[in-house]
Amino acid sequence: MMEKNMKTAAVMMMFTAGLVCADGPWVVSSADVALDTRSKSSLIADTDEEVDARSYTEDLSGFSKIDTRINRGTLIMFM
């Protein structure tokens, strides 16, 4: 019994040390859920609207000499 207690304590101490010295993030997950994110073209009879919330608006009015184009394909590169 005593030996078991010793083992239990040792395991707990190791676990605690692991928590204290943990490097990097903890990962916490949700439960499994059903998810349908198909677009209208592939989702028949679905009336969902597609929303693209990812945009980046630039105000370049103060920088008349600065190139406003951020698409790699429009910039001319010289090596």
Partner 1 sequence: MKSKKGLMVLASLTLIAWTLAAQPVVTGVSMARRAGTRIVDINYTLSGEDAIVTLGITVGGVALPTDKVTAVSGAAGRIVAPGTHSIAWDTAADGVELNTTAAKAALSVWATNDPPPVLVIDMGSGSGSSEYPVTYYAGVEALPYGGLDNYIYRLNLIVMRRIKAGSFKMGVPPGVNVTLTKDFYAGVFEITQRQWAQVTGEPTRSNFLDRETQACRAVEQLSFNSIRGTEAQGGWGWPTNTGVYSESFVGRLRARTGLATLDLPTEAQWEYACRAGTTTVFNDGNAVATLDAPHDLTNQWLHALGRYRFNGGYVNEGATAPGTAVPPAYGTHFAGMYQPNGWGLYDMHGNVYELCLDWWSPTLNVGNGIDPTGPDRGASETITKRGGAYSSTASSCTSAFRINEGTSQANTYVGMRLFMTLP
Positions in the binding site for partner 1 (CB under 8 A) = 1-2, 5-6, 8-9, 12-13, 15-16, 19-20, 23-39, 42, 47-54, 56-59, 62-67, 69-72, 75-79
C-beta of 14: minimal distance to partner 1 in Å?
10
Q: 3-state class of 17 per DSSP?
A: helix
Q: How far apart are CA 36 and CA 48, in angstroms?
A: 11
Q: How far is the CB of 45 from partner 1 (least distance, A)?
A: 14
Which of 35, 45 has the CB closer to partner 1?
Answer: 35
15 within 8 A of 7, measured Cβ to Cβ: no
The position carrying tokens 């439960």 is 31
